[in-house]
Chains A and B, each alone.
Chain A
């Protein structure tokens, strides 16, 4: 089977994440304008840039920290239920997650302030879909095996249910300023327009069946769980009633008609020595206040029961025929379920990057103008541009169950102004063999970039734990033309 079908299935299967939106190849790849999006303080060299609308930045990522498509669907003659039991139910941990991230730039542009050439302004709009579902291990075991048999005495952790997803439209404006020859800083303000959001986080509780104190079994439920949704209910209704009007609904929400929020990115680039540079950035420090089209579900309380009980002589006069319904009512009263429309705040997943880079090799001398940017003023030579760079990067991202981190080593090669290549080797708790490759091609003013990682897995994509792809087209100018 070719790449396509497996990759699409991987997307649908919701494959977990390796590196969690880690754009390690794009990071500090400053020949590409989109590197500004993950470090507003990255070194900028262009006079202006304009992304090709809808094609300037496309990013798609999926991966599995647990099983692969091949683990389950290989035509290997093993019973499918056995594979599910051994590789999913027994094999996956509660920290394993399924996730999907997709980002499409609608437009993106930037220009250097003619009166203050150390400032570079960038702006744009993009759509982002981000979903993460942690593997609800105990709930899966409960569904697969039940509470009986060997599970008598086992306490199922209901807190294993943790998921979060959202689709947002983001409008942004950023300022990148070269403060001096060693330090460049930047910041980006964002307005979020939420298209939909859902989250079920911070759940807790247990479900336990033990040998009873009076009767044969005692069942105990202690639960505090909720699912918050914003924008989902109306979309569902529209799809059920008149799917043709979904476009109008989405258009309205994309253009500030959704739940609104604010965010901030910040970053810097600092030259320790002429050839050694450190960078850092923090992204999506922001929130969305969800107040429209809210529907929340909540269940909270605790109850213990050992079935219907009759104690004689105490209950001899209790002639109620609805003992079972009374028991059900009692449990429902102890563990009430409610739906409400209360607004809530959802936080964007904060991401943090850091890097150190060492440049070496013959300095480029192809810039023949001083564009007033990061290129030095020395006519005819750009001392900042070296043919080679090596370094390391750190990525961290806040997720519902804590910080996900990744460490990357990279090597970058520049072949004139036309071609730049960057290869990365990334390790995290899920993989020790993630090799990525990025290419930036500059054909006159036309810029094209494409990046992918976990390349070793392309020998058998279905057995891959992870795949990501990003590419885009820009027009870049370094002079007044």
Chain B
């Protein structure tokens, strides 16, 4: 027994390999969903802008994101079954209210195809600092058509969907 313990061997090990470990999970989550009926759009007669709202949006500026975000993408989908051409804009604002970036979507009236857009951040895409410094979002929706027409679709509405897919470096 003692001989076994004394003369037992092991192949050469390199424990420094731990330093080479890369753990880079991809995190996916929905961000913002806006839905409006055509009836509501028609009621907004004073101004073409039927929705505009600025709200705090801190998840991008969390310290963890700032420290570990490798790359990411924001996904947008717009579905329009109203009779009107519409424009959506999403502005990314820093703490001082300055616009860091803006995404504008022009949407055709019904029958409009599903509009999808994937905006990459990081290597090969937009600057990651846009996300890291974003403190609030301003979402604006504008009617470029009339205020009286009605789509033939049942329950005509416009829907803006958005989501994020971020890849982090944990190790």
Contacts and interface: CB of A to CB of B under 8 A. Distances in A.
B10 A463 contact: yes
A141 to B, nearest CB: 9
A257 interface: no
Interface string B36-59: 110110010000001101111111
22 contacts: A5-B13, A9-B15, A75-B12, A81-B21, A147-B28, A148-B25, A215-B163, A305-B30, A307-B33, A309-B32, A310-B32, A310-B35, A316-B51, A323-B57, A324-B55, A324-B59, A325-B56, A458-B5, A458-B8, A462-B13, A463-B11, A469-B5
A316 B33 contact: no
A216 B27 contact: no
B151 to A, nearest CB: 16
Contacts of B136: 321
* Main SS class of interface, A: mixed
A472 to B, nearest CB: 13
A94 interface: no
A320 interface: yes
Contact of A325 (B15, B29, B58): B58
A309 B56 CA distance: 14
A217 B55 CA distance: 21
Nearest to A214: B33
Interface stretch (A110-118, A173-181, A192-200, A449-457): A449-457
B30 A145 contact: no
Nearest to A75: B14
B5 A452 contact: yes
Given A146-B25, A146-B28, A312-B40, A75 B59 contact: no
A460 interface: yes
Contacts of B100: none
A276 B7 CA distance: 38
Contacts of A1: 9-13
A309 B34 CA distance: 6
Contacts, number: 188
B50 A307 contact: no
Contact of B56 (A145, A323, A451, A462): A323
Nearest to B15: A73
A3 B11 CA distance: 10
A216 B30 contact: yes
A143 B23 contact: yes
A145 B29 CA distance: 14
Given A306-B30, A311-B35, 14 more contacts: A6-B13, A144-B23, A148-B165, A212-B161, A215-B32, A307-B31, A308-B32, A308-B55, A309-B32, A312-B35, A322-B55, A323-B55, A460-B10, A462-B10
Contacts of A73: 13-15, 17
B22 interface: yes
Contacts of A316: 40, 51
What bracket does the count of chain A residues touching chain B fall in? 35 or more
A264 interface: no
A461 B26 CA distance: 37
B30 A212 contact: yes
Given A75-B12, A312-B40, A319 B32 contact: no
Interface of B: 1-2, 4-6, 8-15, 17-18, 20-23, 25-37, 39-40, 43, 50-51, 53-59, 75, 77, 136, 139, 159, 161-163, 165-168, 170
Interface string A435-451: 00101000000000011
Contacts of A79: 20
A217 B26 contact: no
A69 B13 contact: yes
A304 B159 CA distance: 20
A13 to B, nearest CB: 10
A149 B26 contact: yes
A72 B17 contact: yes
Contacts of B31: 215, 307-308
Contacts of A285: none
A88 to B, nearest CB: 10
- Give the 4 A-B residue pairs with the shortest CB-CB distance, closest first: A146-B25, A148-B28, A307-B30, A458-B8
Nearest to B168: A146
Contacts of A215: 30-33, 161-163
Interface string A56-83: 0000000000000110111100011100
A84 B32 CA distance: 36
B28, B51, B168 pick with most chain A CB within 10 angstroms: B28
B55 A451 contact: no
B4 A458 contact: yes
Contacts of A72: 17
A149 B28 contact: yes
Contact of A217 (B13, B23, B29): B29
B10 A2 contact: yes
Interface in A72-129: 72-75, 79-81, 84
Interface string A256-299: 00000000000000000000000000000000000000000000
A80 B56 contact: no
A216 B56 contact: no
A459 B26 contact: no
A434 to B, nearest CB: 14
B13 A75 contact: yes
B26 A319 contact: no
Contacts of A9: 13, 15
